[in-house]
Structure 1
């Protein structure tokens, strides 16, 4: 497949700027949700429910909005996880606890994690309340069609506390874009593991070791996927992105942007810029507090 078959770019410079503004806003907001996956509070709270630390806690925590679904649904919705790995933990997790209990634990995780990383003053600030209001307003335009993780999370009530409302809104915006991104990856003809290998080749993603550990892929499966990408001309012999590989990733991101414009069009340019500024400040504070350990990122 020629990368240019994926999608065409925006029609003009203004559209391009607006599209990129949405991506910039997403990049500022998303870490406010994602920080919980690297937090010890996540493992502690879910282990207290009887779940195994590690993959079982992750699968149950992220899949809980879907209800007591089986491994097939989780694999389909998560896209880049080894189905055999998912089957080890789902639906077994639902014989130990319930999605309702996990959802309650998720909010405790978000509260404890953000409180530890940002501090009580930031959580009680006017900026936090404003960011929550703007992010929730953006979610009003999110679309449910073909977006299972977004739609399941959208059925959950909005927490009253501003920092938890912001975390909830960040979850919705993240899963909304994520569901659209999976469609773009499918159009690009990338399997789940191939998408991971190609992403890792940028050097800006989690390490191959972390990807394999958390998503259940073996070193042999990783090497096989890398070979397939070389055969397509997307990676070179050293495992780096070729021009075609970079173009395919760019086209997938452009299509993802197009599928994710509604929240930011609804918010408008000024409010989108303000949300980016506010969320960016909180995300910078998260990074300063080592919410995303640097050792987890890179090509290693």
Structure 2
């Protein structure tokens, strides 16, 4: 990658996006999102997650959401869409989500961090990076790109982090399809890296059964990607790295647009805020794992 102010170091975009994705994800595990959505009549854990993530599409049915989310079981999404829109309109869900983000970040980061110059700087940098994103072939990014940018810096940072997360995620789905990994195989191979969700949370959030997860592991073993202990083989490790490299390539534009100095500074600020959020208990202790 090259920019007007120098080449980006290897994996710089990936390292920048990771803490921003962590900040993006905090709201989906927060009591604030459950409370705000519950006030709209959406109380089921899965319905909250699906509605909050898909509301940017408008009053959409299950098919497009299954395609865009990729690793959720279609039957889970069809259980809640489009019926959830009879409980609350998408615009009301989006407003509730933003209120939840406000409460979540204030609780996890503290009022001083929310009002800090560093927060405003991070928001400005992340929004500038998002200017380099493209809508083509990026359904989740494109839907969120049509939403207004919030005025408050901490909300603007979360919005920009969401744009960058969904832009990378849309590209990652393209890489997964090209690699021939179905939704269950994609989840399991990611979990085997140590960076994905445990079986407990795959069942709870994606609705795949234990039997379906075990069958997915057998398919990965048959391809030589997992060993008998469920760990990545050399070939499996290589495939996961190839996936990330392809995702990096597809996701290069926003970070090239921001430039090396901006990427370095946004990474630094993002790590500070993400570390604070994780330390404050943003996520369940058993969220990550292999098996």
Report the TM-score, using the length of structure 1 for normalisation.
0.93
Provide the residue aligned with 1:255 in structure 2: 246
**1:46·1:53 contact (CA, 8 Å) conserved in 2?**
no
Report the TM-score, using the length of structure 2 for normalisation. Answer: 0.96
Partner of residue 32, structure 2: 41
Q: Give the unaligned 5+ runs of structure 1.
A: 1-9
The change in CA–CA distance for 1:17 and 1:165 in structure 2 (over 3 A counts) is: closer
**1:111-260 map, 5 Å:** 111-260=102-251
The structural deviation recorded for 1:16 is 9.0
In 1, Cα distance between equivalents of 2:141 and 2:9: 22
Contact 1:19 1:261 in 2 (8 A): no
Q: Cα distance, 1:28 vs. partner?
A: 2.0
- Which of 273, 283, 293 is residue 264 of structure 2 equivalent to? 273
- Equivalent of 1:21, from 1, 12, 17? 12
Q: Is the 8 A contact 1:19 1:257 kept in 2?
A: no
Question: Given the alignment, which residue of 50, 65, 72 partners 2:56?
Answer: 65
Q: How many residues align?
A: 288
Sort the Cα spacing of 1:19 and 1:148 in 2 relative to 1 into closer, same or farther, 3 A.
farther
Instruction: Report the RMSD for the aligned CA atoms in angstroms.
Output: 1.5
SS of equivalent to 1:97: coil
- CA shift digits 1:118-173 (9 cap, x unpaired): 11111110000000000000000101000000000000000000000000000000
Per the alignment, residue 43 of structure 2 pairs with 52
The answer (yes or no) to whether the contact 1:33–1:170 under 8 Å persists in 2 is: yes
Instruction: Give the equivalent residue in structure 1 for 2:285.
Output: 294
8 Å Cα contact 2:13/2:255 also seen in 1: yes
After superposition, the Cα gap between the structure-2 partners of 1:16 and 1:189, relative to the gap in structure 1 and judged at 3 Å, is farther
Distance 1:180 1:150 in 2: 10
Structure 2, unpaired ranges of 5+: none
* Contact 1:19–1:258, Cα closer than 8 Å, also in 2: no
